[in-house]
């Protein structure tokens, strides 16, 4: 054997093996068989000795081991580092907000059409472009109709016959009165026939006063509004029932919004909504739900909901888009923030603060989800506290330790 150099210390293999075994034991909780016994001078390694006392001690406390495995320990100083916050489970009033897009449309109750009941020709136009505003009774066009002209002639003939039969007393006074009553009936029938042809009372009085048939009669507007469609052209021939003008009253318009089927149960007629326009910041209109469509669109899975909005200044124009917001009071319910829930797809888990840095994973059953809040149907009680932020870090720790699977 060679001699050791001066100043050098000899390494003890027994001490080195002991240190390695201790470090492994502290890191993994088990001692590998290779390091259960230090290496001897060529001797075979001995088997690790059994420790029945330790095992019996562990087996004697199964409840404590289970309880320790059911919680995640997060020391208070680490909670602040990871930004962990807790919130109390409480009963609160839930307010569901429904937001959608609306479209401005004509109020169908205020639409009017000018469609003559006789054949004729247009000889003059007073309204010669689409979009012109008109008042009720304002002239739209002058028309000539042979049928209408002959009806006027019949009316005038009956009027001329009245004084002649009144002077005829040959048949006696009673016979004269009978003829007078019949003549009045004929005059009223002729006058009614002109009314049914949409001839105004003013024009009928003019025919009766002058005793002359008017060659062209004037079509007048049946309502206040705006001419939205004009098919009448100067000199054109029209047939009975042919539409010449469409008039819409825009003093009130409809806002029609699409509501998804899962939100329909929360909509009721009479409910209020706030309507705003992107091109008019700061202007918010309030309207009530007037109508909910009884049918659903198969393509979009939405139903139409209608609001009536006053439009005195005419700034709201059909086919404009609006933002519609409705708030529905859902009543008082036990709720927690949605951020406190870990949704695995199969179940929902929250971490309940048990105090002293302990957090217990607990499965819950949720109901409504409204504006960042989730209704708790089962699993939590009022005044319990749950982790509302950084709970995903607690969940990761729980899964690493096998507490949650």
Best CA proximity match to 371, nearest among 328, 342, 323, 334: 328
* Cβ neighbours, 10 Å, residue 154: 15
pLDDT in the model for residue 158: 83
CA neighbours closer than 13 Å in the CB half-sphere of residue 140: 32
Give the C-alpha separation, 178 to 184, whole Å: 10
Closest CA to 210 of 138, 155, 165: 155
Is 350 within 8 Å of 380 (Cβ atoms)? yes
What CATH number does domain 99-107+250-330 carry, 2.40.30.170, 3.90.1150.10, 2.40.50.100, 3.40.50.300?
Answer: 2.40.30.170
Name the token pair of 172. 């006696």
User: Under 8 Å CB-to-CB from 31, ≥6 apart: which residues?
Assistant: 21, 24, 25, 48
Does the domain at 69-93+332-400 match CATH 2.40.420.20? Answer given as yes
Q: What is the pLDDT of residue 163?
A: 52
User: Which residue ranges in the chain fall short of pLDDT 70?
Assistant: 1-69, 162-181
State residue 370's pLDDT score. Answer: 85
In the chain, where are the structural domains located? 12-43, 69-93+332-400, 99-107+250-330, 113-245
Do the domains at 69-93+332-400 and 99-107+250-330 have one common CATH topology? no
pLDDT of residue 106: 95
């Amino acid at each position: 054997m060679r001699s050791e150099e001066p100043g050098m210390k000899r390494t003890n293999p027994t001490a080195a093996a002991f240190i390695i075994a201790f470090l492994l034991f502290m890191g993994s909780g088990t001692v590998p068989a290779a390091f259960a016994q230090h290496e001897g001078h060529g001797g075979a390694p001995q088997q690790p000795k059994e420790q029945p006392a330790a095992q019996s001690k562990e087996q004697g406390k199964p409840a404590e081991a289970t309880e320790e495995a059911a919680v995640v320990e997060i020391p208070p100083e680490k909670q602040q580092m990871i930004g962990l916050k807790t919130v109390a489970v409480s009963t609160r009033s839930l307010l569901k907000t429904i937001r959608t897009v609306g479209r401005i449309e004509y109020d169908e109750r205020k639409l009017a059409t000018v469609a003559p009941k006789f054949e004729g020709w247009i000889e003059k136009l007073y309204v010669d472009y689409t979009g012109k505003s008109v008042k009720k009774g304002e002239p739209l066009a002058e028309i000539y109709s042979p049928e209408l002209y002959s009806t006027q002639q019949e009316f005038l003939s009956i009027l001329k016959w009245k004084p002649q039969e009144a002077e005829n007393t040959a048949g006696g006074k009673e016979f004269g009165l009978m003829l007078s009553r019949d003549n009045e009936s004929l005059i009223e029938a002729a006058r009614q026939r002109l009314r049914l042809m949409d001839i105004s009372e003013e024009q009928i009085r003019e025919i009766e006063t002058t005793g002359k048939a008017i060659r062209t009669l004037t079509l007048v507007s049946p309502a206040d509004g705006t001419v939205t469609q004009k098919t009448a052209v100067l000199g054109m021939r029209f047939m009975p029932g042919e539409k010449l003008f469409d008039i819409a009253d825009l003093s009130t318009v409809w806002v029609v919004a699409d509501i998804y089927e899962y939100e329909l149960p929360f909509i009721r007629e009479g409910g209020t909504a706030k309507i705003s326009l992107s091109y008019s910041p700061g202007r918010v209109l309030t309207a009530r739900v007037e109508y909910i469509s009884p049918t659903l669109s198969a393509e979009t899975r939405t139903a139409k909901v209608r609001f009536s909005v006053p439009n005195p200044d005419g700034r709201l124009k059909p086919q404009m888009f609006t933002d519609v917001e409705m708030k529905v009071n859902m009543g008082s319910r036990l709720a927690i923030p949605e951020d406190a829930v870990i949704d695995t797809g199969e179940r929902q888990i929250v971490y309940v603060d048990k105090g002293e840095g302990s957090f217990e994973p607990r499965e819950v059953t949720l109901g409504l989800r409204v504006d960042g809040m989730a209704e708790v149907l089962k699993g939590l009680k009022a005044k319990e506290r749950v982790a509302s932020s950084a709970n995903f870090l607690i969940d990761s720790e729980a899964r690493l330790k096998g507490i949650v699977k």
